[in-house]
Chains A and B, each alone.
Chain A
Amino acid sequence: MENLVEAKALTKHFGAFEAVRGIDVEVRRGEAFGFLGPNGAGKSSTMRMISCVSGRSGGELKVLGMDPGRDGPKIRARLGVVPQLDNLDTELTVRQNLQIYGRYFGMSRQRCREKAAELLEFAQLGDRADHEVEPLSGGMKRRLTIARSLVNDPELLLLDEPTTGLDPQARHLLWDRLFRLKQDGVTLIITTHYMDEAEQLCDRLVVMDGGRIAAEGSPSELISRYSTKEVLELRFPPGARKPDLERFADRVEVLPDRLLLYTHDGEHVLAKVHEQGVQPVQSLVRRSSLEDVFLRLTGRTLVD
């Protein structure tokens, strides 16, 4: 399968600060690829290098088979970029934002008009077409930014934290739009620090931490490789001494307010815990998630 992005030992530093410390990444055509990691893991820096708006400090990078350093404009002509913070043109209306952006790609006015109408539909902003951008809700702005990134029918769509700051309803609406794009064969690269988002959207992902890649695989692969099937969460009152339950589970993680017991059968372990006379404030058995993978790999939680 053809690789749209190939990075080898890619690095980026700003002065003495190393944001990306040598990563190897391959993104195949047609897949949804994720960078999962906490804020400051180097995800956005990597995205900026892939979208050819930031030069690399070292290593190799090929996007759509070309070198971003030399063919930036040519590559960008075939990319769609959704930045972390909306940068819509506040001096233009919703429709004009799409039309003028199309013009930046050198599309004809006629084509821009058609495309704008089509994308307004896609983003469910038809009734706001001739409104100002500023008063739109966060979710609407986000959808408009995504619609804008699709103006040039990109082969590769880069989304940097697409749903950060949105309420649950707006997030689901957005995910739905992204699924449709995936079905249409658009290759997606997504950064996120939400594990549910990564699990929902990504076929394959890398877990980033401190500018390095900690693990790579599909969500289910990563979970089976780095975690157990189930997790028992036991919550204790703040400040209470947590009992030693190491012997009941494959692995135990101690968080400030909770114990996480990794096991293939949570209910069974819970029963044994109760037998010991341990009385947590709250207990919960759940399936393992990427959050657990991250915790295992880095010893830290994703969102803190």
Chain B
Amino acid sequence: MQPQTATGPAGPVSGKAGPGKFQDKSRSRLSGVGDFIGAQGLLVVVLLFGVLLTFLSPVFLTTVNLVNLLFQCTILGVFAIGMTFVILTGGIDVSVGSTAALSSVLSMGVIVNMNMPPAIGLLTGLVVGAGVGAVNGLMVTKLGISPLIATLATLSAGSGIAFAYSDGGNITPVPKMLTEMVSAKVAGIPLLIPAVLVLAFLAHLALTRTTYGRSIYAVGGNKEAALLAGIRVDRVTMNAYIIAGLSAGMAGLLLTGRLASGSPRAGDGIELTVIAAVVIGGTSLFGGQGNIKGTLLGVLLIAMVSNAVNLLGIPSSYDRIVQGVVIFAAAALDVYRYKYVQKNLSRKRKIGPPPATDPKTAGTTATGTATAHTGTPA
């Protein structure tokens, strides 16, 4: 029987099952539900939520409310754009709220207490933000402290410095230039809205069209592989924290303008909302996956939740409960999406239809041999 078994597989029919056959397109295509969640899911959720609110409140779909809604998005958006960079590297920055407070207090300190021109003050705010980011980055890359702990430390220290410097009070008066910048309107639309959109677009270009953006995805997707491919992982990570700090500093200045004071409470507790917005927007906490478009939608959804609570006359304490539920849903979605993508994109490939029962095929020959064998016990 040996020769039969040995020569069987060489039959011409068996050549059909070449590896090329497996390259079915459906392998890389996600199925319905996953597609929905993966690609346009959030947009659909935002729109459905909008339709629901239109029915629940007559005020929702008014120009005034919509402009107001977008205006509410702007500062959160600035925070979230920076945060997206950090989360894409697989890190996290919980210090952005206190960085904003520090930027707010110190910039006003420079202007009010030291009598510097406003421009120097604003620059100080940005430098403070970038500086805190650099400290975070150094702790994470050079000392190897986990991002959560490192930024928790700066959260605490930064907030402490802000309170210490301002003696817990507000620093006023804010220069007119800043308050006017925040509230400037053209044709009834706050200028801040298009400004943040431009910022988002720049961030989008940086992530998709530059070597730096590509490196961020590589570092977040597989740090070890990125390192071996010659990417300067530490530098890339460091810069992500600086970008997050810078955007927090910028947001701190905007908050100062809006609150009309340099306040150590500016941005207090906003870090969780920011992280929630980014994650709801589809940026994976595992790193390497996500984009700015998603982040903007995440910010919009969070702002809509607040808006809804407002419009429907729900006590404001419920706002945070609703937000908690939304964060939970987003995090669960993230895990689900991760597993789903893993399952569908990993080694599993589509298997062709069972080979025809041609007597010449390898399988039939060998099975036949085996049956013959087991049929005649020794």
B is a partner of A? no
Q: Which residues of A contact B (CB under 8 A)?
A: none
Q: Which residues of B contact A (CB under 8 A)?
A: none
